Chain A
């Protein structure tokens, strides 16, 4: 099953998966997509690579530690909740920058929160699947 064609295509496909998942993440605020879906997609892409090329290989190549990603995701989400507090708004108020960035769009705390969700979902899925597939 692990043919050369499959291996090569997976190697090429994984970055594409991640890129597309990022696309989904950033367009989420205005069109179908978002942190949860994006995270799932990225996780599936990475998991597919791990299945074909091995978990350890994937971990080494992408330098992923699922637990670390979970922690980072949760922290980003938390910070995004606290930022409005520092600016004198109630907790969790959406705060947006005045200008927008090309390709990504407007930046603000809801987007940051979504990024946190995105990271956390990747971490959780990989955490479970990696340890299951190590046997």
Chain B
């Protein structure tokens, strides 16, 4: 499995150089990778079904239990097939769609990266690895959505998608870590094998909620849904891939994956049912108010994701099975419709549903695909969408939860889907040919294969559901349910209430389609699709965040050295005192009398330094104050020397010398010396005095504490034995803490480069 991931990354790595040599066919060449993965997954299918699951593990970062661990089971192999299968068509489609784009190589870099990350999510067997791939999808989708980076809208949408999903991802990470700590393992197989581990744990609802935030943001659930329609700024293949078949389903996948662990938790199920239900109806209603093809598809996708969340939340056998069946049906028709939209946009230059009609004569193949996909979306017999709708209604009306409300909600959504399907499959392709910005003609071959194959699969999959879809869906839903339940798919179940509902859906859907014009004028009049929603909160909070950032930067980074010093000293003082007050050690200075036994030369140092301080305070020029400061420094160094710190003393002497040299050298560059007002001086003296007093007390206090420190003993003992050096200070610097030193000297080198260029700049002006 690791080779699958590595191949994906290799494809990403190769895409830019490949584009240089094969500017026309880079996508076609790279599509070998997804089709290869697809074939690989097919070849593993039997094995996985037989054994249940296969795992593979490589040690990575042992100290935090981060293993490169993968798992292939019914659920993940279903997703792998979906991702790689649709991916193959998307690669070819995008290659034509971006025919002469100079940045095509980069596009395929992002796309391969995205596909790999997605495969990583579904195959990972370690929560932390899952999170890493999860964030990688956020990152690569950010790059993909913002692909037309010269447009401000693209950049904004990309940022929005990333901020929302990454924010959710952070919550999820917190949930994962808590889960890992409570369960004692980050290994998904271990967790799934003992789904009762968390039962009775007080943290379970919190963990469930945290993980759900991640899943809900990624799968664009209300109120985090707004990034998805905005993400339509991306090129059509991206919309088709990310926002219909893969990335937005990551949340659904995660919920499905962890269902065995949480399906007895109220927080988990009730949140999913409520949020999913609201999203389902809300998305469908908003979809009705839009006429932009991509927007309509985006909102129906949101609605569809709501359905899946709802079904997984209900957690009954039939609802989980329905979720998987619906997921496949949705991927097939939604992928097709997005590519159809891309074709229409590409060839006709418009995406406005209310203006387009009669394109079918010029685009027969696109029409064919759109018609099949729409029939599936509307749920017409014998399409796969019909089967999905049947089982969906079956699940909704059989649930033990307030089934009438859920059932009514799904029915309303179904009607709206059917109504919109008529527009996509019927209205824009038949009737009088409308005026379009571009001369309409059929899209090139690679842009047709994908939609045609996926749409036809929707038909064949419906007719032969028992042979084609049933085995894989059966195993994926069993993986979620963690129990063996037979999934039987079929077209005909007799004249039941469900079948009557299916027929009613189509009838109402047709009526809705007919009434669409009036609905649109109504919604435009009341500005229904421009009502402030969660998006407004986002739009307001981002500038607010920037204002806070600016404000605090201004406060902390005022550019006045004096203020920095005040902030630093005051912070340090408060931290120290907080620690002192929190630890119960009272300060008692029993050895204080020892300090009174002064030697005469010690007194000399004190007096010298005192003179230095006094002189600094009253100095009338910079040079005087620098020299007086130097006096204090030398005094300190001499003290070190007398009290057994020759290394420190030597360093202090040299640094003091250099400081004075540097000060003197920079004197020319500085503005005129301004003597600070007496009142200001006193103000500045307060933090200085506080700092001095604090340090003195702390040092005296440390003196009274028992001196045996394990750290000191360790260095004293091992510096010669382990590092072959008798100078402990030096050994610490170059050996025990060598990495720190390395970092420091690197910083020093960079800083000196900075000073060099800064001074050069000053001189050149």
Residues in chain A within 8 A of chain B (CB atoms): 28-37, 40-41, 43-44, 47, 66-67, 70, 73-74, 77-78, 81, 92, 94, 96, 106, 108, 110-111, 113-114, 116-117, 120-121, 123-125, 127-129, 131-133, 135
Q: Does B665 contact A (CB under 8 A)?
A: yes
**15 more A-B contacts (CB under 8 A) besides A29-B725, A73-B745, A131-B760?**
A31-B727, A32-B647, A33-B727, A34-B729, A37-B647, A47-B661, A66-B752, A110-B723, A110-B725, A110-B734, A110-B738, A113-B742, A121-B745, A132-B665, A135-B763
Contact B646 A44 (CB under 8 A): no
Q: CA–CA, A43 to B666, complex, Å?
A: 18
Q: A70 contacts B661, CB within 8 Å?
A: no
Inter-chain contact A77/B729, CB cutoff 8 Å: no
- B662: Cβ under 8 A from any A Cβ: yes
Taking CB atoms, residues of chain B closer than 8 Å to A44 are: 654, 657-658, 661
Residues of B close to A127: CB separation below 8 A = 752, 755-756
Q: Are B748 and A120 in contact (CB under 8 A)?
A: yes
Task: Report chain A residues within 8 Å CB of B735.
Answer: 94, 110
Residue from B658, B726, B727, B749 in contact with A40 in the complex, judged by beta carbons closer than 8 Å: B658
- Does B746 sit at the interface, judged by CB under 8 A? yes
- Per the bound structure, the CA–CA distance linking A125 and B654 in Å amounts to 12
Q: Which of B651, B666, B729, B749 contacts A70 (CB 8 A)?
A: B749
Decide: B726 and A70 in contact? CB cutoff 8 A. Answer: no
For B738, give the chain A residue with the smallest CB separation: A92
> Which residues of B sit under 8 angstroms from A31, Cβ to Cβ?
726-727
Q: Which residues of A contact B752 (CB under 8 A)?
A: 66, 70, 123-124, 127-128
Instruction: Label chain A's interface by main secondary structure.
Output: helix
* Contact between B745 and A28, CB atoms less than 8 A apart: no
Interfacial residues, chain B to chain A (CB-CB below 8 A): 646-647, 650-651, 654-655, 657-658, 661-662, 665-666, 668, 722-727, 729-731, 733-735, 738-739, 741-742, 745-746, 748-749, 751-753, 755-756, 759-760, 763
Cβ–Cβ < 8 Å partners of A123 in chain B: 749, 752
Contact A74 B746 (CB under 8 A): yes
Tell me the smallest distance from the CB of A32 to a CB of chain B, in Å: 4
Residues of B within 8 Å of A67, CB to CB, are: 753, 756
A30's partner among B657, B727, B742, B763 (CB-CB below 8 A) is: B727
A35–B729 Cα distance when bound, in Å, is: 12
Q: Cβ of B763: which chain A residues have Cβ within 8 Å of it?
A: 135
In this complex, the member of B733, B738, B756 whose beta carbon has the largest number of chain A beta carbons within 10 angstroms is: B738
Q: Which of B654, B665, B745, B753 contacts A117 (CB 8 A)?
A: B745
With A110-B734, A123-B752 in contact, do A129 and B662 touch (Cβ < 8 Å)? yes
How far in angstroms is the closest Cβ of chain A from B172? Answer: 33
Q: How far is the CB of A81 from chain B (nearest CB, A)?
A: 7
**Interface SS of chain B:** helix
Residue ID in chain A nearest B759 by CB atoms: A131
B727 neighbours in A (Cβ, 8 Å): 28-34
Whole-angstrom distance between the alpha carbons of A32 and B647 in the complex?
5
Q: Are A36 and B733 in contact (CB under 8 A)?
A: yes
Report B-chain residues with C-beta under 8 Å of the C-beta of A92: 738-739
Nearest residue (CB) in B for A71 is: B749
Min CB gap A118→B, angstroms: 10
In contact, A77 and B742 (Cβ under 8 angstroms): yes
A92 to B734, CA, bound (A): 10
Contact of B741 among A47, A113, A125, A133 (CB under 8 A): A113
Task: Give chain B residues whose Cβ lies under 8 Å from the Cβ of A29.
Answer: 724-727, 730-731, 734
Query: Out of A30, A32, A78, A117, which one reaches B646, CB within 8 Å?
Result: A32
Provide the residues of chain A in CB contact with B657, threshold 8 Å: 44
In contact, B651 and A36 (Cβ under 8 angstroms): yes
Q: Which of B655, B662, B749, B753 has the most CB of A within 10 A?
A: B749
B contact residues around A121 at 8 Å (CB): 745, 748
Cα distance, A6 to B735, chains bound together (Å): 41
Query: Given A67-B756, A110-B725, A117-B734, A133–B745 Cβ distance below 8 Å?
Result: no
State A54–B278 Cα separation when bound (angstroms).
80
Q: A98 to nearest B CB, angstroms?
A: 12
- Chain B residue nearest to A113 in the complex (CB): B734
Question: In the complex the two chains form, what is the Cα distance from A69 to B346 in whole Å?
Answer: 59
6 A-B pairs closest in CB distance: A29-B725, A132-B665, A40-B654, A32-B646, A30-B726, A124-B752
Q: Are B661 and A114 in contact (CB under 8 A)?
A: no
Cβ–Cβ contact B668 & A135, under 8 A: yes
Q: A125's closest neighbor in chain B, by CB?
A: B658
Contacts of B749 in A (CB 8 A): 70, 73-74, 120, 123-124
**Which residue of the partner chain, among A30, A78, A132, contacts B662 with CB atoms under 8 Å?**
A132
With A37-B651, A92-B739 given, is the CB distance from A131 to B724 under 8 Å? no
What CA separation (Å) do A32 and B654 show in the bound complex? Answer: 14
What A residues does B738 contact at CB under 8 A? 81, 92, 110, 113
B668 / chain A contacts, CB cutoff of 8 Å: 135
Contact indicator A81/B742 (Cβ below 8 Å) = yes
Provide the bound-state CA to CA distance between A78 and B746, in Å: 10
A117 partner residues in chain B, CB cutoff 8 A: 733-734, 741, 745
Contact A132 B655 (CB under 8 A): no
B210 to chain A, nearest CB (A): 36
Task: Compute how far the CA of A43 lies from the CA of B729 in the bound complex, rounded to whole angstroms.
Answer: 21
Separation in Å of the B315 CB from the closest CB of chain A? 49
> For A33, what are the chain B residues with a Cβ–Cβ distance below 8 Å?
647, 650, 727, 730
Q: What's the least CB distance linking A7 to chain B, in Å?
A: 19
